[in-house]
Structure 1
Amino acid sequence: MCLPTFAQEPSTEQPRGLAAVKARGELLWGADAQGGAPYVFQDPMDPNRLIGFEVDLAEALAAKLGVRARTVLGPWDSLLGLLARGDFDVAMNGIEVAEEKKRICDLSRPYYVAAEKLTVRRGDKNAPHTLTQARGRPVGTLPGSLAERILRREGAFAKTYEGGQEEIYQDLKLGRTDAVLLDEPATRYYGAIEPELEVVPGTFGEVRYAVAVRKDEDSLREAIDTALVELAREGTLRAIYERWGLWNQETAELLGDPDPSPRGVPEQYEAWRIAVGKAPPFLDRVRDRYPATLALFARGAVMTLGVSLLAMALAVAVGVVLALMRVFGPRPLRWLAAGYIEVVRGTPLLVQLTLVYFGLPQLGLRLDPLPAGVLTLGLNYAAAEAENYRAGLSSVPAGQQEAAKVLGLTRWQTLRHVVMPQAARISLPPMTNDFIALLKDSSLVSLVTLTELTRTYLNLANAMRDHLGLGLVVASIYLLIGLPFAHLARTVEARLGQHLKGVAR
């Protein structure tokens, strides 16, 4: 980027790349804590902080740049899309060096090399021990990974998981897949430690990790490259990898280190093994472990409730307008309202959110995560609300409107004093039910880097390897949030029943 000289007019262009990082004083880096150890994950002993070898690496890189590191969480398979739209400066979460990724972003020099490892059930005589034997059989892996491409190339049925590495190995233990093919770090932390599983000797490919940077931000990429070289020369990279039990011969060759043998004790790896060892009884976890997660769950619940309330307010306002257009508007407006309702109800909410968050920037309209999530949920539920209100409006007998006209009331006065109060009584119960459904659908906003209640649960469950107990905790929280609105629905329905009692049918 060309900076203005003192003889030029001051530039109003926003700083980009390294200049933006320096001006902000922070290196925003994208990652996915749901994937689990050893990359980026919640500390099982202190869930309120993120740890992982890439957390250590991000802090070391930021220190070399003279700034702080701050993590922005998002889905792993969407990190490059989030990077491209400017949600963070770099992405670093096992980002593989691959040609298809270079079409989306620029990549730094590699900072780690790992083998692809095959894991099978111990003692399974029919388990595949080669990729040829895996042909046509279900093998678990991560979506968009080199391992998935290898499996598909060899003719295996690549079963991909959105929920993280823990679920992949759990399905192998349960017999839902015949093997798992993943990078060596994931294999070491989730496959090798399981007594029921064994890692097949040998390697089945090699993957290199790099830092992803937006296109045309060469200054930042070059600064990252320089920092990686310095960290390697100083021995910082080796120290990080050894702490996490990840130092290997391939990475030693990459960094030009003549000693491929690990030194000392991998304290972070051993601490993780102890933390996620055999789970204590459920009541002990309720007393000792789960209270430490309540602050995170509270933040997730506040995000869920806030997004839901804002989205529902938008849905109600737009839904009323659509219902009035469809019932009382002229024919073109009725067609427009009907078309909107059918299109929105006929397309998935996830597709709509993706279009708003990733598609609109291509047209020059870039929304921040919270407005994008609220807008998409609100406009989606507006279609359902419109139909609720249309049913309520249609339930008012036409004779009452005619009587109001005879009494000299205008159309607006008729709607306000005669039609709307009666329609509201009919529409309130289904509207309340829609809000409870919206509370659960709000989990989709995790796609746009908002960490709500469900995403918090998945991050913690994969880090603590406790899906059942934490699942009961988060289910209870959802129940507590929804109960007041369910009670409201029952109260309105009861009053409505009394109101309609004795009315001629």
Structure 2
Amino acid sequence: MEEPAGAPEPAPHFAAHFSPIACDRLSPRPSSARLHPARRTIVLIAAVAVAFLTLTAGPGRADTLAKVRKAGRLVYGSDKEGGGPYAYPDPKAPREVTGFEVELMNALAKDLGVRADFSQGPWDRLLKVLDTGRIDVVVNGYEWTESRSREYLATRPYYVYQLQLMAPRGGTIRSWADIERPNPRKRRWRIGVLSSSAADAFARGAGEANVEVLSFDGATDAMTAVRNGQIDATLQDLPAALYYRDRFPSLELAGPPVGHGYYVIFLRKDDKPLRQELDRAIGRLVESGSLRSLYERYGLWNDAQDELAGWTGTKFVTTGSGPPRGLSMLWQYRTLLFDAALMTILLSVTSMPLAMAIGLFIALGRLYGPRFLRMILSAYVELLRGTPLMLQLFVLFYLLKLPPLVAGIGGLAINYSAYEAEIYRAGLQAIPAGQMEAALALGMSRWMALRRVIVPQAVRIVIPPVTNDFIALFKDTSVCSAITLVELTKQYSILGNSTGGWIEFAIATAVLYMAMSIPLSWFSRWSERRLDAAAAKGGALT
């Protein structure tokens, strides 16, 4: 239910990139810098593995229930970006948060004799935030699953959810039964779901060969894609579908709800006393009818909620020991990781050459073009540098309705072209003015002099900073998950949520990113040495 935070913008200042070339000549490198590249790679990978393993060994925590009562507040993690009816900004007081889960937590905290404090966090990372100790519990439409129950404690359910299909009004999809049949358009049905949710798991399992599941970071993002005609339908938790159906009048609830499960409050494994008190508080709300009154106010009460009365907990049964861990887990999911890595490579190697080409023409236009063109290109650079990459991707995907891959490649290329333009502009300005004068004196036109004399020299100068930006681009492809592209970081999040193997997949993801970026680092250092040698000889590269 969240829009992941935007990736940090690269800062390709020319001087910062170019200064090592001169500094290498002024001072000798220490012997440690002369490690063989393969050994450096091994050392880096080992360091990453040690760092992640160290982070898992957190200090012991005191009794959370005692801490909550002493502090007089119960801090719960939620994501108001996911929207209603769970937790969302109060229209009457935008700085405040409202929603049925907000009211639920206020009632539970009151039963404990404390107040409830909302803590914002990304939906698919709330359980990891819980591990840090910054919050006491997680409540945000989190479904009970076996994998989560192996890592965390769960209270008794406070809501029995179902899944609702939403499709274009009057279209060919009238219920989930239509999804189970082949698409008459001779392609798979494109179904949008909230990433790492129960709807995600249900669609992948029940749809089988007829469904292509596209993961979104927010419920309304998937609904918008259906309205735009980019996907065929979306499968949502029933509360979200009921809440947002009026905002999307072109969509309808297609057929009866499907699936069945429970919303629970998650706690850390050692917080059994707090879990026990919350279970009692939920039970009292059920018995008194207060919970039903709350759900009726939000239009969420249905016959499925009768299951909350007399809950014994016998339905929460964890079978077996779960999926294999360690190397066995990585081997089992290796194809998913490699496919995601290939998507990352595809996005990078297609968007960066475009960014370099666009950036070069922008730099030439700003330095040698007419005044009106310089003004337009300057505005282009400032606009792209001054707005987030994620916002630019949203414009391409949701407003211009481009296919996800086209929007991803185009968004990265356009965004990085502004930074590459500044690098090329600095490189062009570094060429002595006498070079252009000499070329013109030999009878060359200005554009011929640029093509044959100025630009080739500038390109050689900017190789190191451009290579650095290429490396940064590999990581920035993670932002493309906001438009349904499953690249490496997104796949890591999906597998971590579904299996609980956060550490294993984090290490594997880091290793794959390093395997993609280290060859570029070697190329950058090789090009710097070539530039050093050329500068020492006082001539151009051969």
Judge same fold: TM > 0.5, yes or no.
Answer: yes
1:333 Cα deviation from its structure 2 partner: 1.1
1:494 Cα deviation from its structure 2 partner: 1.6
Provide the residue aligned with 2:262 in structure 1. Answer: 185
Three-state SS of the structure 2 residue aligned to 1:98 is: helix
Query: RMSD in angstroms over aligned alpha carbons?
Result: 3.7
CA contact (8 A) 1:323 1:390 kept: yes
1:207 Cα deviation from its structure 2 partner: 9.1
Three-state SS of the structure 1 residue aligned to 2:318 is: helix
CA contact (8 A) 1:112 1:251 kept: no
Provide the residue aligned with 2:210 in structure 1. Answer: 68
| Structure 1 residues 185-264: aligned runs within 5 Å | 185-187=262-264, 190-191=266-267, 196=272, 198=275, 199-200=278-279, 201-202=281-282, 204=291, 205-206=294-295, 250-251=303-304
Q: Note closer, same or farther for the CA distance 1:410–1:266 as it changes in structure 2 (3 Å cut).
A: same
Equivalents in 1 of 2:520, 2:513: separation in Å?
12
Q: Note closer, same or farther for the CA distance 1:491–1:342 as it changes in structure 2 (3 Å cut).
A: same
Equivalents in 1 of 2:452, 2:333: separation in Å?
50
Provide the residue aligned with 1:326 in structure 2. Answer: 366
1:448 Cα deviation from its structure 2 partner: 1.4
1:252 Cα deviation from its structure 2 partner: 7.5
Equivalents in 2 of 1:250, 1:193: separation in Å?
32
Equivalents in 2 of 1:288, 1:316: separation in Å?
41
1:292 Cα deviation from its structure 2 partner: 1.2
1:111 Cα deviation from its structure 2 partner: 2.2
Equivalents in 2 of 1:25, 1:391: separation in Å?
49
| Residue of structure 2 aligned with 1:79, choices 206, 209, 222 | 222
| Residue of structure 2 aligned with 1:308, choices 328, 344, 348 | 348
Question: Normalising by the residue count of structure 1, what TM-score does the alignment of the two structures yield?
Answer: 0.61
Three-state SS of the structure 2 residue aligned to 1:275 is: coil
Amino acid at match of 1:438: L
Where does the alignment leave 5 or more consecutive residues of structure 2 unmatched?
Answer: 1-169, 175-181, 286-290
| Structure 1 residues 266-415: aligned runs within 5 Å | 270-271=318-319, 274-275=321-322, 285-360=325-400, 366-415=401-450
Provide the residue aligned with 2:252 in structure 1. Answer: 106
1:107 Cα deviation from its structure 2 partner: 2.4
> Are 2:539 and 1:499 equivalent residues in the alignment?
no
Equivalents in 2 of 1:192, 1:381: separation in Å?
42
Provide the residue aligned with 2:158 in structure 1. Answer: none
CA contact (8 A) 2:199 2:235 kept: no
1:24 Cα deviation from its structure 2 partner: 3.7
> Are 2:512 and 1:477 equivalent residues in the alignment?
yes
CA contact (8 A) 1:311 1:374 kept: yes
Q: Note closer, same or farther for the CA distance 1:493–1:83 as it changes in structure 2 (3 Å cut).
A: same
Where does the alignment leave 5 or more consecutive residues of structure 1 unmatched?
Answer: 1-14, 41-50, 115-183, 211-247, 255-259, 361-365
1:66-123 deviations in Å (ceiling 9; x for gaps): x933322222332212222223222113252434442223224662799xxxxxxxxx
Three-state SS of the structure 2 residue aligned to 1:434 is: helix
Q: Note closer, same or farther for the CA distance 1:207–1:353 as it changes in structure 2 (3 Å cut).
A: farther
Q: Note closer, same or farther for the CA distance 1:275–1:73 as it changes in structure 2 (3 Å cut).
A: same
Question: Normalising by the residue count of structure 2, what TM-score does the alignment of the two structures yield?
Answer: 0.57
| Residue of structure 1 aligned with 2:464, choices 425, 429, 432 | 429
Amino acid at match of 1:17: T
Equivalents in 1 of 2:305, 2:242: separation in Å?
21
Equivalents in 1 of 2:185, 2:389: separation in Å?
37
1:297 Cα deviation from its structure 2 partner: 0.6
CA contact (8 A) 2:464 2:524 kept: yes
Provide the residue aligned with 1:487 in structure 2. Answer: 522
Percent of aligned pairs sharing the same letter: 30
Equivalents in 2 of 1:92, 1:209: separation in Å?
20
1:501 Cα deviation from its structure 2 partner: 2.7
> Are 2:236 and 1:93 equivalent residues in the alignment?
yes
| Residue of structure 2 aligned with 1:466, choices 495, 501, 505 | 501
| Residue of structure 2 aligned with 1:456, choices 491, 494, 515 | 491
Q: Note closer, same or farther for the CA distance 1:407–1:314 as it changes in structure 2 (3 Å cut).
A: same
Deviates more, 1:81-90 or 1:386-395: 81-90
Q: Note closer, same or farther for the CA distance 1:502–1:337 as it changes in structure 2 (3 Å cut).
A: same
Aligned residues: 345
| Structure 1 residues 142-181: aligned runs within 5 Å | none
1:498 Cα deviation from its structure 2 partner: 2.1
Three-state SS of the structure 1 residue aligned to 2:377 is: helix
User: Relative contact order, CA 8 A, sep 6+: which one is greater?
Assistant: 2
